[in-house]
Structure 1
Amino acid sequence: MYALLFADNGMSDGQISALFAIWSTVAVVAEVPFGALADRFSRRWSLVAAGLLQALGYALWTASPGFWSFAGGFVLWGLGGALVSGALEALLHDGLTAVGAADHFGTVLGRVTAVGLLGQIPSAVAATFLFSTGGYALVGWVSVATCLGSALMALRLPETPRGDPEDYFATLRSGLAETAAVPAVRRAVPAVAVLAGLDALEEYFPLLARDWDVPVALVPLAVLAIPLAGAAGAALGGTRLPLGGLLAASALLLGAAGLLRHPAGLAAVAVFYGLYRLVLVVAETRLQERITGSARATVTSVAGLGSEVAAYGVYAAWVFGGLSLVSVVILAFALVLPYALRVRRSDQEPPGSAPRRIDPVAGPGG
């Protein structure tokens, strides 16, 4: 409900978009350095620290609502998001590889994503009750407790030993070298970045519901179908599907909902989100399949950095053209997505060769 919290504390659409931009700016600065931090030290502890920082951000919003408090909370949340980005996928991929199940990464990632989205169901029900009982303050403090609980849960995640680690800067150089030098990775990273950046649109779903005449107290329940559809789509992410066509269809549905401007349009938004989440999981899986070096979290964080840059485009499109312009942008990107993620013959390693490792100093030819 934080977008509604901002609006009800006097923030204009421009100020709300500025807050989201601050969130993205922090992530842009911290994304890759924090990805290398997870590779060098601990991906599990990165997830723990992320929960603690997000809890601090929510506490700041709740204790002292106002533009600068909201901005400070987003700084903390942005740092926490940078700690998660890359670390989660790397932790999952290495864990599956250790037990000989790397081929199941897409399926498991889809399920992990789906469970995360399904968590919004009890959250929506709780938010409706908490808001009706104690307003934004009660919602905020319960959110703080939830983040602290997630940090405690992260402590129990297993982490696969990775041998003797490189120093921090060697790890950082290794990840950046693989991103730049391996053609399949170089194309997949920006494709995943743009797709992940489109998720910034989720921040506006509660505002859409309110603008389409849904009462504020009912907004959490009204948008409940959207994460449900997203969970269903993500759960199908282990399959091979025509990504460009699915993304194009989702963009058309989103544009139609914007023209309708009615609570019923939320159903079309839900279908859009389900298709979008399916495409995102498949694209993320294809990126992980192309990474062969040890700095997996760093490479994934480069895509995360790109997603934050892409989010600026979403915010700008929303301010200048609303949902219609956003849907046009998604449709245009759908046309180029298949070319970015396809595997070309020149990308393949010679038959029987071992996966190439990028030397952090000498580069791809070293």
Structure 2
Amino acid sequence: MLFADSGLSDTRISVLLAIWSTTAVLFEVPSGAIADRFSRRGSLVVAGVLQACGYATWVLFPSFWGFAAGFVLWGLGGTLTSGAFEALLYDGLAANGDEASYGRLNARVDTIELIAQVPVAVVATVLFSCGGYRLAGWVSVAMCLLSSVIALRFPEPERDPSSGEDGYLATLRTGLREAVPIRRAVIAVALVYALDAFEEYFTLLARDWHVPTVWVPLATIGVPLLGAAGAALAGRLPWRGWVLLAAGAVLVLAAVLAVPAAIVLLGLFYGLYRFVLVHVETELQHRIDTDARATVTSVAAIGSEFVAYAVYAAWVLGSAVAVGVLVLVVAVVIAVRR
């Protein structure tokens, strides 16, 4: 909305999103190696500062080039977070011999992240009503900087000093080599995580399913809450191969019905999907045996960026039905590779 209200065409907005994605593709793995070689906590601190600078650029320079620069900064910040956070969390638990609890804690993090979308949406509405994009933008800058301050307080366990003696490129090569023997877990995360790109279309689905525009935010508010419920259950229940198949089937059914009540099925799909996502992410972390944990995680993340293009293509070709079929295909691929 900010871009459109600033006079940008749909084509230029698409170019901006392409710049954002390209930044992630180019820097995802190198940034993971930076976190492994130097500091995971430091990566999180710098990520918050970069994202704050990105939002500030949008507020100060509301033009195509200003938005492009902001997306590059935001993309860089996102790549520094991806992999570094999971590695910091897992190794912090492992330092106390408690790595077995990573799955439960990771599920809790996902749950809080999804639930937080509800009050944040309300706050954003109030901020926009009071001060428009500028107020919402400057508050976003403040929140990013606050995240950096909080990250400074994260404990970072000491690692073997000899692990970093060979330098950054050696760390990068170690991470890439480590991804090969555990490639099934890496591919599983890449495939499943990429499906989350479909979340961007939830409001469009509600509108297409005959929900009045004014009611779309309230109609879809339950979807992330059901996703949070699925993530929370992932910390308590084991994963079964049929769960992702069930998620795809539910999504196809919802798309075929295409009525307002089908949003309940959309929420059920998202809950099942988040259940599986927590499990595949946890399994990957348990299989990584080297200090290049953030780099290996970033390899999975960059894989998901490429697979996400299939989600976009499925939406263009057949809307939610095609995406549901894609979910079923991913479920079969993962089941076979396991």
| TM-score greater than 0.5 by the shorter chain | yes
Q: How does 1:177-216 map to 2 (within 5 A)?
A: 177-180=177-180, 182=181, 185-212=182-209
Q: Does 1:309 align with 2:306?
A: yes
Please point out which of 16, 24, 28 is paired with 1:27.
24
Structure-1 separation of matches of 2:306 and 2:234:
24
Change (3 A) 1:137 1:115: same
**Deviation (angstroms), 1:6:** 4.3
Contact 1:131 1:217 in 2 (8 A): no
Give distance in 2, aligned partners of 1:261 and 1:69: 39
C-alpha contact (below 8 Å) 1:132/1:217 kept by paired residues: no
CA distance, structure 1, for counterparts of residue 305 and residue 262 of structure 2: 27
Structure 1's consecutive aligned runs of 4 or more residues displaced over 6 angstroms after TM superposition are none
Q: Which 10-residue stretch deviates more, 109-118 or 53-62?
A: 53-62
* Partner of residue 47, structure 1: 44
Q: Structure 1, residues 128-159: CA drift from partner, whole Å, max 9, x if none? A: 22233333333322222221211111111111
Distance 1:142 1:150, change over 3 A: same
Partner of 2:285: 288
The size of the alignment, in residue pairs, is: 334
Structure 1 position 37, deviation (Å): 0.3
Q: Identity, % of aligned pairs?
A: 58
RMSD of aligned alpha carbons:
2.3
Shifted more, 275-284 versus 330-339: the winner is 330-339
Name the structure 1 match of 2:232: 235
1:189-244: CA deviation from partner (whole Å, max 9, x where unpaired): 1111111111112222233344555566654444321221121111122332214x
2:103 alignment counterpart = 106
Given the superposition, is the C-alpha separation of residues 271 and 13 from structure 1 closer, same or farther in structure 2, using an over 3 Å criterion?
farther
Cα 1:91–1:138 change in 2 (3 A) is same
Contact persistence 1:128–1:218 (CA under 8 A): no
CA change 1:144–1:230 in 2 (3 A) is same
The alignment status of 1:173 with 2:173, answered yes or no, reads yes
Q: Distance in 2 between matches of 1:332 and 1:242?
A: 16
CA distance in 2, matches of 1:58, 1:214: 32
The Cα of 1:113 is off from its aligned counterpart by 1.3
Q: Is 1:37 matched up with 2:34?
A: yes
Q: Secondary structure at the match of 1:236?
A: helix
Match of 2:55 in 1: 58
Summarize deviations over 1:35-91 as a string: whole Å, max 9, x none: 010001110111111112222222233344454443332222211111011111110
Q: Which TM-score applies when normalising by structure 1? A: 0.84
Which runs of no fewer than 5 residues in structure 1 stay unpaired? 343-366
Residue of structure 2 in register with 1:325 after alignment: 322
